[in-house]
């Protein structure tokens, strides 16, 4: 029997908005995870499923009028959850490597058992921008 899904809402958005669970000095282009309350915080390692990548638009303007990436607890954080995004590398990452979260929400090469954010689409030096095809899963 065929089903008709009229009235079913399917969100095709690449981004979601979540509340910060703590103050974050700079969330831009960093990997975010949910905390125990359902708020988002910077990932500290690859032991939690990544929500996605905090977008560069997130955060307050500093005194000079430029984006600082700073958020305080309860602020909205825009997070990219699918497609191709950019994350800051915490170490050198090879093109084609599986990318996971490291300290301070920075990207690292995934190890066995890690939750993977996605696949690196370029070779990236430490502190560079890694282009990632977001495809969340746990590495065997």
> What does pLDDT average to over the chain?
90
Confidence bin at 90 (pLDDT 50/70/90): very high
Share of the chain above pLDDT 90, in %: 78
Confidence bin at 86 (pLDDT 50/70/90): very high
129, part of any domain? yes
103, part of any domain? yes
Question: What domain range includes position 99?
Answer: 15-138
8, part of any domain? no
The pLDDT value given to residue 10: 74
Sequential DSSP letters for 12-49: --SEEEEEBSS-BS--TT-EEEE-TTS-EEE--SSSS-
Confidence bin at 12 (pLDDT 50/70/90): confident
Distance linking the first and last C-alpha atoms of the chain: 38
Does the pLDDT at position 62 exceed 90? no
102, part of any domain? yes
Q: Tell me: the pLDDT tens digits for 24-47? A: 999 999 999 999 999 999 999 999
Report DSSP state, residue 71: B
Confidence bin at 89 (pLDDT 50/70/90): very high
Say how many domains are in the chain: 1
5, part of any domain? no
3, part of any domain? no
CATH number at residue 47: 2.40.300.10
Confidence bin at 138 (pLDDT 50/70/90): very high
1, part of any domain? no
Confidence bin at 58 (pLDDT 50/70/90): very low
40, part of any domain? yes
């Amino acid at each position: 029997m065929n089903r008709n899904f009229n009235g079913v809402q399917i969100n095709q958005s690449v981004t979601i908005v979540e509340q910060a669970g703590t103050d974050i000095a700079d969330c831009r282009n960093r990997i975010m995870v949910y905390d125990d309350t359902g708020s988002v915080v910077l990932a500290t390692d690859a032991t939690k499923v990544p929500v996605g990548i905090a977008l560069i638009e997130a955060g307050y303007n500093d005194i000079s009028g430029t984006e600082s990436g700073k958020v305080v607890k309860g602020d909205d954080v825009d997070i990219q959850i699918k497609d191709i995004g950019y994350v800051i590398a915490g170490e050198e990452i090879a093109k084609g490597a599986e990318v996971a979260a490291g300290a301070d929400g920075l990207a690292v090469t995934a190890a066995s058992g890690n939750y993977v954010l996605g696949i690196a689409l370029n070779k990236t030096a430490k502190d560079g921008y890694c282009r990632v095809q977001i495809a969340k899963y746990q590495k065997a």
